[in-house]
Amino acid sequence: MAGFGSQAGVHNTAQDLENLLARVALKDRKAFSQLYDRTSTKLFGVCFRILNNRSEAEDVIQEVYIKVWNRADQFATGRASVIAWMATIARNHAIDRYRARGKPTQQLDDHLDLQDVGPTPEQALLQADQKNQIDLCLDQLKSDHALAVRHTFLSGWSYQEAADTLNIPLNTVKTWIRRSLMQLKECLKS
Amino acid sequence: MTSPLNERNKMLAAEQAMGVLEGQLREEAAKRYETEIEFRHEVDEWSERLLPLLDQVPSASPSPAVWQNIERAIGTSKTNSSPWWAAIFSANFLAPSFAGALAVLILVVGINYLPLTFVPQPTLIAILSGEAAPQAMLARFDQRSGTLTLTTNMQAADGHEHELWVIAGEGAKPVSMGLVAPKATASITLPDDIRQLLAQGAVLAISVEPTGGSKTGLPTGPVIATGILDLA
């Protein structure tokens, strides 16, 4: 009789995370703790980058993991990797929290150095192929367009916030980002 | 069949993944993500594409209180309540009326819970539960590749093994899909004749069998968990 043997070979990280999340869907607390250990510093960094406030980022990260615990079975219905799925939840919660404040509390010139956006050569070396790929693709865009995409995504800006912060007309920002996304999609296919 | 997303909706999905929408548009997109599988997949594909941009965000550790709060929150939340399909649980396939009762239950459940429009999708999932084994197993079936992936926390008692069965529908006999590795995630590529049985609404069940599995071709021990395959 055919049996379900354990999968042979070494799992890559993505597969490990998927297996952990499957256990979380079965309400395995130990697996959930491992998932937290492996992902929380990254997700906290992502939330902190948007909120720029430790206490708020900690509130958000709590909400994020409670949602992951409750909705882990829903992951299987999607197309994203575990880390992309979790990062999306984290970004959305952080963005909602950020926008609930009302006025933006960070200004571009306070916190960001435009020359500092890209990865350092060391980071670039350490990063995975896809990272290099999206950087190469961004390099093919006009530099101000690429910069708008990066900052908007990392800061969790709306079009309006991007327009205000980058001091560019709203319609121009929309056009830049939409066109850039289409070009990125084409570039990443190849 | 649903039609593929048009260009406008594809852009909306990209914008939702970027996070640039706000107000009502953002709420609508979030709602569509929950309810429209095509839209959800489009957003997911964009999230995956954009993910490498997050590599440049420095990681940082939240304070230990965060994990303590999370643990406390999930300890008190009612996450272990029985899902709706747990009602299908039955003690044993050997009960003569089981297949008939199952068919009725599937019908009732189908009317109440299944989506009104049928959208063929490549992945089906089922969570198998029983009275003594809540959320015992997660099964994911990739229809395109014919691969069934199982994750379980269960382990059979000494001298016994867990066997996985599929009941394709009304009046169908349970068909064995093999023995289940204890406390593991494992995949198997199913033969064509078994693949055809794994459709939306099919019931998966785990029975307790002697080492080596059932010798009769049907479950001989108690069925400890069941679940319905549904669209992913």
Report the candidate in B15, B28, B23, B14 with the shortest Cα–Cα distance to residue A100.
B23
Nearest to B20 among A154, A162, A185 (CB): A162
Task: Choose the final residue of a domain: A102, A128, A143.
Answer: A102
What is the least distance, in Å, from the CA of B108 to any CA of chain A?
23
Please tell me whether residues A29 and A90 are part of one structural domain: yes
**Residue of higher predicted confidence among B77 and B210:** B210
The answer, yes or no, to whether residue B165 has pLDDT greater than 80, is yes
Decide which of A54, A78, A102 is a domain's last residue: A102
Task: Please name the member of B59, B134, B181 whose beta carbon is closest to the beta carbon of A45.
Answer: B59
Residue A81 lies in a domain: yes
Tokens representing residue B72 in the block: 């406390």
Q: Which residues of B touch A87 (CB under 8 A)?
A: 47, 51, 54
**A160 in a domain, yes or no?**
yes
Measured between alpha carbons, how far apart are the two ends of chain B, in Å?
Answer: 15
CB atoms within 10 A of CB B108: 12
CB contact under 8 A, A159 and B22: yes
Closest Cβ–Cβ partner in B56, B187, B232 for A123: B56
A85, B56: Cβ pair inside 8 Å?
no
The domains of chain B are located at: 7-56, 84-231
CA distance A163 to chain B (A): 11
Q: How many structural domains is chain A composed of?
A: 2
Contacts with A76 (C-beta within 8 Å, 6 or more apart), sequence order: A22, A25, B123, B125, B138, B140, B232
- Do A112 and A98 share a structural domain? no
Both A113 and A76 in one domain: the answer is no
Convert the pLDDT of each residue in B98-115 to its tens digit.
Answer: 444 444 444 444 333 434
Task: Give the residue from A63, A81, A102 where a domain finishes.
Answer: A102
Same domain, A96 and A112: no
Packed helices B37-50 and A82-100: angle between N→C axes, nearest 10 degrees = 90
Q: What is the SS3 assignment for A102? A: coil
| Cα→Cα distances A138→A29, A87, A181, A188, B11, Å | 40, 21, 10, 10, 18
The complex's ipTM? 0.82
Q: Are B106 and B203 in contact (CB under 8 A)?
A: yes
Are A80 and A96 in the same domain? yes
Report the C-alpha gap between B19 and A92 in whole angstroms. 7
**What is B12-33 written as a DSSP string?**
HHHHHHHT---HHHHHHHHHHH
pLDDT tens-digit series, residues A130-146: 446 898 999 999 999 99
A79/B41 CB distance under 8 A: yes
Which residue in the set A26, A40, A83 is minimally distant from B151, CB to CB?
Answer: A26
pLDDT tens figures, B172-220: 888 888 888 888 888 888 888 888 888 888 889 888 888 888 888 888 8
Range of the domain at A86: 12-102
In DSSP terms, which residues pair with B127 in a beta bridge? B138
Does A4 map to a domain?
A: no
Residue A2 or residue B32, greater confidence: B32
> What is the CATH code of the structural domain delimited by B84-231?
2.60.40
Counting residues of chain A whose pLDDT is more than 70, the rounded percentage is 78
Please give, rounded to a whole number of angstroms, the shortest distance from the CA of A159 to a CA of chain B.
Answer: 5
- Residue B164 Cα, gap to closest chain A Cα (Å): 10
Is pLDDT of A48 > 90? Answer: yes
What is the rounded CA–CA span in Å between residue A91 and residue A48? 10
A3 within a domain of the structure (yes/no): no
Q: What is d(CA A162, CA A158) in angstroms, rounded to the nearest whole number?
A: 6
